[in-house]
Chain A
Amino acid sequence: MPIIDVENLSREFQVMEPAGRFRRRRKTVHAVRGIDFTVEQGEAVGYIGANGAGKSTTIKMLTGVLVPSSGRVSVCGFNPVPQRKALARKIGVVFGQRSQLWWDLPLQDSYPILGAMHRMPEADWRPRFRELADQMDLGEFLTTPVRQLSLGQRMRGEVAAALLHRPELVILDEPTIGLDMISKEKLRQFLDAERRDNGTTLLLTTHDMSDIQRLCQRVLVVDDGAIAYDGQLTGLAEVAGAVRTMVVDLATPMHSGVLFSLPDGAVHEGIEANGIRHSVSFDPRRLSAATVLAAISSTAEVADLSLHEPDIEHLVRQLYGRARG
């Protein structure tokens, strides 16, 4: 049985919009329109889409916080809204922009409360807490009040809180938002290990493509409330014709890109900083970054370079072949 089973799920909202000076008109916004998908035990699924595409609305319906307008949802065999409390013992939820920790208490004081909420005896949650604190490096700030933690520290605390009861399914809503590279990487490593060791199912929404690349084999792309793509990440890049971009800073300025003998599949995109900075896009299926760099270095001395991966908004936009704000 799939751990998440969603069938023809929709949610619409009524919003008031101004109509004339004093009157207001009721308008229906379709946040999620008849989506279907299933997630099997042990999968790691990235749920991606632009801002306002309907990601958070779906997550709220999966966790039982929001009532669907129509359709059917089953999570861990429960109907989320009526069985919300029972479901909460099976799943762990991390809302990247909200906290489930007690703001004015030392971090370590949140876990006995959570253990009790999940009806775990101390002999059960205490060792699990030590294990999580150890893996997530919580040690040095366990006695710091949550309100004084840095974002990265707090997020590690949040993830430990969501995993304390060994949930079958962990839903993460933008878990890496605002984190620095090192904190992001630590979090990803931990989540990946957790899934491989315990078979925990992961569903995460993110705007960060590397979260998906590191953690998920499968992506669901939602656009304007509907599922636009469901499959492997590599497949998505192919469908969308994603290109990578290499930005090079040259040692001496060049005012034209024509001199670079770029191979087929690479395109000179533009010049900045008076001929110092050049950007070149290339098709990753045909060319490696090394080939492109070698081609550029053969005509000019490269002082610095950076590689830019296609971002999710960009992929989704290309998938639909239309511009969104």
Chain B
Amino acid sequence: MRAYWELGKSSFRRHSTYRTAAVAGAFTNSVFGLIRASLLLSAITTAGGAIGGYSAMEAATYVWLGQALLAPLGLFGNAELAGRVKSGDIAVDLSRSVNLTASYWAQDLGRAAFDVLPRGLPPLIVGALVTGLAMPGTPGPYLLGFVSILAAVSLNFLGFFAINLLSFWVLEIRGFWMLYMVLMNLLSGFLVPVTWFPGWLLDFARATPFPSMLQTPVDILAGRTDGVESLAMVGVQLLWLAVLLVVVQVMVRFGSRRLVVQGG
């Protein structure tokens, strides 16, 4: 366990050395937040005050929470493992006395922990100043929201890790990566809340782990769901976590057997 703790800590430190990148990222997240918020707000005004249960203020809060969580949750993924398979450096990872998945997972949690403040806070501040935020006044949603964020970070990690692991079988994973990004952006509720989807698409989204990766923590943090409902949603997240963990472990098991390490 200590190895994973050290790996997480080291990853936090590694990311903290790239402060300019963090500032640039926070700026971009905030600017895109302004664009997304103005689009949604004009849509809501045209629709006459509310869409799918979201008032103007609630829709803005949804946008800003999404923009704030974007980086910490790791919604853009990380292709490090695939890169290391390509270069052959995977041999170093495999000759360490740690579990491959757990060591990358620990490092991703360390990254997420660093990203919370520099990447999460600026969009929320901009949001609070420009449109205002509708946040709950009780501690419950924040506590459960924290658990939900942790689960969502892990789900995003495992999803991208599975795509990375495809590099054990194929030389180039870009196609799979693109497909995954398109599905994830839409079905996680990043573009519009999943409850705005037509019925059939909503049903489809709910049969995938994607809403658990963003929509769930955003809804819980914004206080859109009551305690029991929030708990059930976290339960769904944990179920998906178990499923993805099994998928990834099976992939590592079979993949590393057929892996041919590149280079001398």
Question: Which chain A residues have a beta carbon within 8 Å of chain B's beta carbons?
Answer: 13, 51, 55-56, 60, 63-67, 81, 84-86, 88-89, 93, 95, 97-100, 102, 104-105, 109, 112-113, 116-119, 145
Q: Which residues does chain A contribute within 8 Å of B98, judged by CB atoms?
A: 85, 117
Q: B33-41, B85-93, B198-206: which lies at the A interface?
A: B85-93
Out of A13, A55, A84, A97, which one reaches B95, CB within 8 Å? A84
Contact B264 A99 (CB under 8 A): no
Contact B97 A86 (CB under 8 A): yes
Is the C-beta of B14 less than 8 angstroms from some C-beta in chain A?
yes
Q: Which residues does chain A contribute within 8 Å of B97, judged by CB atoms?
A: 85-86, 88-89, 117-119
Contact A102 B10 (CB under 8 A): yes
Chain B nearest CB, measured from A95 CB (Å):
6
Give the 4 A-B residue pairs with the shortest CB-CB distance, closest first: A88-B97, A116-B3, A116-B2, A116-B6
Q: List 30 A-B contacts (CB under 8 A).
A: A13-B260, A51-B264, A56-B264, A60-B91, A63-B91, A64-B95, A65-B91, A65-B95, A65-B261, A66-B259, A66-B260, A66-B261, A85-B97, A85-B99, A86-B97, A88-B95, A98-B89, A99-B89, A100-B92, A100-B95, A105-B10, A105-B13, A105-B17, A113-B7, A113-B10, A116-B3, A116-B6, A117-B6, A117-B96, A119-B97
Q: Number of contacting residues on B, CB 8 A? A: 26
User: What total of A-B pairs shows CB separation below 8 Å?
Assistant: 74
**Separation of A51 and B260 alpha carbons in the complex (Å):** 18
Q: Which residues does chain B contribute within 8 Å of A113, judged by CB atoms?
A: 3, 6-7, 10
Out of A51, A98, A104, A118, which one reaches B17, CB within 8 Å? A104
Is the C-beta of B19 less than 8 angstroms from some C-beta in chain A?
no
Q: Which residues does chain B contribute within 8 Å of A51, judged by CB atoms?
A: 264
Question: Which chain B residues have a beta carbon within 8 Å of chain A's beta carbons?
Answer: 2-3, 5-7, 10, 13-14, 17, 88-89, 91-92, 94-99, 257-261, 263-264
**Separation of A325 and B63 alpha carbons in the complex (Å):** 63
Q: Which residues does chain A contribute within 8 Å of B99, judged by CB atoms?
A: 85
**Separation of A116 and B9 alpha carbons in the complex (Å):** 12
**Separation of A84 and B97 alpha carbons in the complex (Å):** 7
What 12 new A-B contacts, CB under 8 Å, besides A113-B3, A117-B96, A145-B17? A63-B91, A67-B257, A85-B97, A88-B96, A98-B91, A100-B96, A102-B14, A116-B5, A116-B6, A117-B3, A117-B6, A118-B97
Shortest Cβ distance from A89 into B: residue: B97
**Separation of A98 and B261 alpha carbons in the complex (Å):** 12
Contact B92 A119 (CB under 8 A): no
Chain A nearest CB, measured from B7 CB (Å):
6
**Separation of A128 and B14 alpha carbons in the complex (Å):** 25
Q: Which residues does chain B contribute within 8 Å of A98, judged by CB atoms?
A: 88-89, 91-92
Shortest Cβ distance from A205 into B: residue: B264
Chain A nearest CB, measured from B9 CB (Å):
8
Shortest Cβ distance from A112 into B: residue: B6
Q: Which residues does chain A contribute within 8 Å of B264, judged by CB atoms?
A: 51, 55-56, 97
Q: Which residues does chain A contribute within 8 Å of B92, judged by CB atoms?
A: 95, 98-100
Q: Which residues does chain B contribute within 8 Å of A56, judged by CB atoms?
A: 264
